[in-house]
Amino acid sequence: MLHPWVGSVQGMNKTIIGALVGASVLAGGCGAVVREVERLAVRTSPTIGTPTFASSPAGSPGAGDLKQAAQAALGAVPGSTLVSIETEENGRLWEVQVVGKDGTEHQLDVESGKVVAGPTTEQEDADDKAKHRARVSAAKLDYAQAADKIVAAVPEGRVTELNLDTEQGKTVWEADVVGADGVKHEVAVDAATGAVTRNNAATS
């Protein structure tokens, strides 16, 4: 059995809560209460309604942004293979080159995951097309796998350029990467084995 004063306090609490709720409803109706709760929720949770890419801050091209741009470009040229991607205009735009099955190179510009220019076809001779086909054939790693290897080699790095090329007789993915400390790295990954063959901090 509760002591009489305990019951009195409980009754007072219920009366106070009821009075507050009643005052809120009288002042602005139930909608006002709901709006106030929503307002407080937004104030205490600044991320609500603010979608961001976890891959990098605004204007900083990370692997996630690179992959998003690459997928958009590849979707615009069905059956193609990405051979080069480079950020322009402080990370706002990606310049992408893809190669078709016959070795023809196409160039596109991608912004915010959408193709904004191209594809335009590069005017190349048969030898150039043959080189493209040979590099694509020799590469066992695609651009996405190469980007993952490169970011692993430069933790928290931001890939700003990635190209499929030939180095010392081997097909490699070459990349420019900006580290978390702002230092630029030049990284090369063997396109057949995935081994990092070069990781140099660029000197100014």
81 with 125, same domain: the answer is yes
171 with 109, same domain: the answer is yes
Q: Indicate the pLDDT class of residue 8, thresholds 50, 70 and 90.
A: very low
Q: Look up residue 103 and give its DSSP letter.
A: S
3-class secondary-structure state, position 106: strand
* pLDDT mean over 109-127: 86
103 with 175, same domain: the answer is yes
User: In this structure, is residue 115 part of a structural domain?
Assistant: yes
Alpha-helical segments (H) within the chain:
4-44, 63-76, 126-138, 143-153
For the chain, the domain total comes to 2
User: In this structure, is residue 58 part of a structural domain?
Assistant: no
Greater pLDDT, 12 or 198: 198
32 with 78, same domain: the answer is no
pTM above 0.75, yes or no: no
Give the DSSP letter string of 143-204.
HHHHHHHHHHHSTT-EEEEEEEEEETTEEEEEEEEE-TTS-EEEEEEETTT--EEEEEEPP-
> Which domain, by its residues, includes 185?
63-201
142 with 181, same domain: the answer is yes
User: In this structure, is residue 132 part of a structural domain?
Assistant: yes
User: In this structure, is residue 56 part of a structural domain?
Assistant: no
Q: What is the pLDDT of residue 64?
A: 59
180 with 87, same domain: the answer is yes
CB 188 within 8 A of CB 196: yes
User: In this structure, is residue 127 part of a structural domain?
Assistant: yes
pLDDT digits (tens, 9 = 90+) for 50-101: 222 233 433 334 455 888 899 999 999 999 999 999 988 677 889 999 999 8
15 with 89, same domain: the answer is no
